[in-house]
Amino acid sequence: MNKVIAILIAGTIGSMLKILGGILYGSNTLFVDALTSIVNIIALLVVIWSRRVTIIPPDSDHHFGHERFEYIGILVMIVTYGFVAGISITRLYYVREYSVELNAFYLAVAAILAYSIAIFLSRSAPPSIRAYGAFTISEVLEGIVGIIASLGGALYSYLIDYGGAVLLTSYIFYEIYEEGRNLASFMADEAPPPSIYEKVVGIAESEGFSIKSIRLRTIVPGKYHGDIVLSPGSTRYENLKNLKKKLGENGVDVCIEVSSP
């Protein structure tokens, strides 16, 4: 857990440096970038929270387990992105000619160093934190845009800095789209990939059953739920128990029914 705290501190320092660069030294690119790094910190908190919640076994109010709490994290991300997108648009809409100080550029360089530390630490962290590290790589790419734009803004024209800010704002909308697609596939109860069907049918046939119909939905990738109707025939109770057990081992939790002849 100490490592997670170190990552959180490095990420927070990175964000603070960008906010200072944006507010004190006039770079709008850094300002927008700072907003996205606030999202980044919230993402890390969400990861830490969902890691604790999703492993809770099924209980009286969540019969299928708590894995789907992961998607509440996505919702939080979308809302946060939407909020910072609004702030960015408002700021960029009312902009007049401005000047960027060279200090903004130095802060941008310092911020990218802080993020590099966070990413480096997250590489040897547990898988869910590693996912955060991968997510933070976009923060470094944005940081590079910040460095180029603030330097160009300080040395040549504020329009270079303004262009960088518009670019990063567009990226926020792209992130909203991506996270939204993620959430939509869950809300629409998407079917699992065909390979899962093939596996279920294969297991059933190896136990001597033939499947009449099958319905599956994804709880989270790797965990599926649904129902199976078997053709009448060899439906010995022992075989059924075996089928259920084998499917369960493959992450498929189904209700099995035998159709009447």
Q: 62 or 91, CB closer to Zn ion? A: 62
Specify the residue, 71 or 197, whose C-beta has the smaller distance to Zn ion.
71
Q: Which is nearer to Zn ion, 61 or 238 (CB)?
A: 61
Minimal distance, residue 61 CB to Zn ion, in Å: 4
**Nearer to Zn ion by C-beta: 61 or 97?**
61
Spatial neighbors of 216 by CB under 8 A, at least 6 apart, are: 191, 192, 196, 197, 200, 224, 225, 226, 252, 254
Which residue intervals of the chain are DSSP H helices? 2-24, 28-53, 69-93, 102-123, 127-155, 158-187, 194-206, 237-249
Instruction: Give the Cα-Cα-Cα angle 105, 111, 117 (nearest 5 degrees).
Output: 145
Q: Compute the distance between CA of residue 43 and CA of residue 134 in angstroms, rounded to an integer.
A: 12
- Min dist. Cβ of residue 179 to Zn ion (A): 24
In angstroms, rounded to a whole number, what is the distance separating the alpha carbons of residues 110 and 152? 17
CB 14 within 8 A of CB 119: no
Please say which residue, 62 or 68, places its beta carbon nearer to Zn ion. 62
- Report the candidate in 11, 29, 213 with the shortest Cα–Cα distance to residue 122: 11
Three-state secondary-structure class, residue 256: strand
Output 59 or 238, the one with its CB closest to Zn ion. 59
For residue 61, which amino acid is it?
D
Q: Which residues bind Zn ion (CB under 5 A)?
A: 59, 61-62
Residue whose C-beta lies closest to Zn ion: 62
Report strand pairing: 223-230 vs 252-258.
parallel
CB of 65 to Zn ion, least distance (A): 9
Q: Dihedral (C-alpha) 244, 247, 253, 258: value to the nearest 10 degrees?
A: -50
If you ran DSSP here, which 8-state letter would residue 125 be given?
Answer: S
Residue with smaller CB distance to Zn ion, 18 or 225: 225
Query: Considering the complex, what minimum distance in angstroms separates the CB of residue 52 from Zn ion?
Result: 13
Q: Shortest gap between Cβ of 214 and Zn ion (angstroms)?
A: 28
